[in-house]
Structure formats: structure tokens, C-alpha cells
């Protein structure tokens, strides 16, 4: 069964970058180094959008890459631009068409995972990532940080919408993404580590633009709006 499409007006044109963000590249470099990546490394690029990261993984890292997104429109566009890459429509919480221990690396770039704002669904995504990764494989992804969220210009609105979560010291806050008006998850490095561990993945590094190097210290990401995480399947 095909996943329900998510309508993201403007997504095709607004994120037509040709390169990686600086700390995104650094995190992916660190992930490749962790597995001794070389030509032919099997990579699954989740939430690929128009193929921005997918093309870089194929062309610059020489990876054997497959990619998918839940939005049929942008998958069709990505496949038109790069017919040599295997683009699919799929749901990151299910991964029904991907075999156990099939990949050396899984990427979920540019906070795409945060459009899975339900905790159970997010945990299902992590479990699926762990299933398709080989032993020693790596998961590299970015996620919004609630501490930085509370410092932004919309903090008053976000406080109001999340009052009960703040009162119970919840691990995550929600906001509606300014671009697509969809619920957007904002968690913490601590919560990320816990959910990864529950899926059998060990967080080994956090990449923050502020720190300028990978670290295993969650404090490094304290003021970072969207740090990158690297986790290993033990």
C-alpha cells in the first residue's frame, strides 16, 4: 500500500540546493569515516526530497544509494532529474520494501525526521533504521533542538501551544513549520539518545556548528537549532 502523501507546497523549488550544508557535510564525513566508507558503500537516503543529498552521496562519496520520500510529486521530480538513481515513494516508519541489514549507512538529512511528530511513529522509524542497517552500520540525521526553539522569535506562541508539555517537562515540543504548516518535532539530545538506544542504536557523536567538531557531549548542542547525530548499530 502506498503511504499517504504529504502536501508540501513550494518544496520542489525552495530547497533546490546543489550542495550540503557545512555541518551536514562534516557529519556525513564523520559517518563515512566511522564505517570506513569507500566506493560502493550502501546508503539509504530517507526523506530525500528532490535528491539534494542523494546526488552528493552518489557523485562525491561514490555511494551505491537508494532514496525515498513520502511526497510523490518531489520523488517524480527527483527521478526525472537523476534517472540513474533509484528513487521511491515510501514511509520512513515502515520501510516495507527494504531488507534486513541491507545498508552500511542510513541518512535522514535536514530535519526531515521532525515531520514525524508522534513519538510512537518516531520510535518506529528508529526501529526500522536499525533493522535495515548492518551490524556496525551508521545512522546520520539532524533534528530540531527544543532549547534553541524556545529562544527564537516565536517563543511566546510556542510556549502557549506547549504549556502542558512544559509543565510536565516533556522531552519534546511541537510547532507548525513556517514553510508547510505541518507539525514539527523539537526534542533534546537526551531524548534522542534514549529513543536510539531503544531501537538498538548507540549515539556516538553530535555535530554542532557552534562546536565545530563532532563530540559525544550533549552540552555541545545546547544552543544549536538543529544538530546532526551519528548513531551506530552495535
Highest mean pLDDT among 96-100, 184-188, 205-209: 96-100
CA distance 41 to 59: 12
Average pLDDT on 187-205 reads 93
Q: What is the largest CA-CA distance in the chain?
A: 51
- 13-145+186-233 is a CATH 3.40.50.150 domain: yes
Q: Give the pLDDT confidence score for residue 6 in this predicted structure.
A: 44
pLDDT class of 159 with cuts at 50, 70, 90: low
- pLDDT at residue 176, rounded to an integer: 57
pLDDT band at 214 (very low <50, low <70, confident <90, very high): confident
Q: For residues 173-191, b (16+ Cβ closer than 10 Å) or e, as one string?
A: bbbeeeeeeeebbbbbbeb
Residue-range domain boundaries for the chain: 13-145+186-233
pLDDT at 98 over 70: yes
Amino acid at each position: 500500500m502506498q503511504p499517504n502523501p504529504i502536501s508540501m507546497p513550494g518544496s520542489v523549488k525552495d530547497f533546490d540546493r546543489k550542495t550540503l550544508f557545512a555541518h551536514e557535510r562534516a557529519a556525513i564525513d564523520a559517518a563515512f569515516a566511522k564505517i570506513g566508507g569507500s566506493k560502493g558503500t550502501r546508503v539509504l537516503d530517507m526523506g530525500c526530497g528532490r535528491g539534494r543529498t542523494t546526488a552528493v552521496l552518489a557523485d562525491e562519496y561514490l555511494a551505491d544509494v537508494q532514496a525515498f520520500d513520502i511526497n510523490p510529486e518531489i520523488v517524480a521530480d527527483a527521478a526525472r532529474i537523476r534517472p540513474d538513481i533509484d528513487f521511491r515513494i515510501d514511509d520512513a516508519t515502515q520501510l516495507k520494501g527494504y531488507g534486513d541489514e541491507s545498508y552500511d549507512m542510513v541518512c535522514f538529512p535536514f530535519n526531515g525526521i521532525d515531520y514525524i511528530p508522534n513519538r510512537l511513529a518516531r520510535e518506529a522509524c528508529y526501529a526500522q533504521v536499525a533493522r535495515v542497517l548492518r551490524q556496525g552500520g551508521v545512522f546520520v540525521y539532524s533534528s530540531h533542538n527544543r532549547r534553541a526553539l524556545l529562544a527564537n522569535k516565536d517563543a511566546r506562541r510556542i510556549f502557549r501551544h506547549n504549556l502542558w508539555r512544559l509543565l510536565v517537562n516533556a522531552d519534546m515540543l511541537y510547532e507548525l513549520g513556517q514553510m508547510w504548516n505541518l507539525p514539527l518535532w523539537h526534542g533534546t539530545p537526551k531524548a534522542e539518545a534514549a529513543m536510539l538506544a531503544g531501537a538498538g542504536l548507540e549515539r556516538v557523536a553530535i555535530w554542532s556548528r557552534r562546536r565545530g567538531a563532532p563530540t559525544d557531549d550533549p552540552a555541545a548542542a545546547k544552543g544549536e537549532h538543529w544538530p546532526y547525530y551519528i548513531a551506530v548499530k552495535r
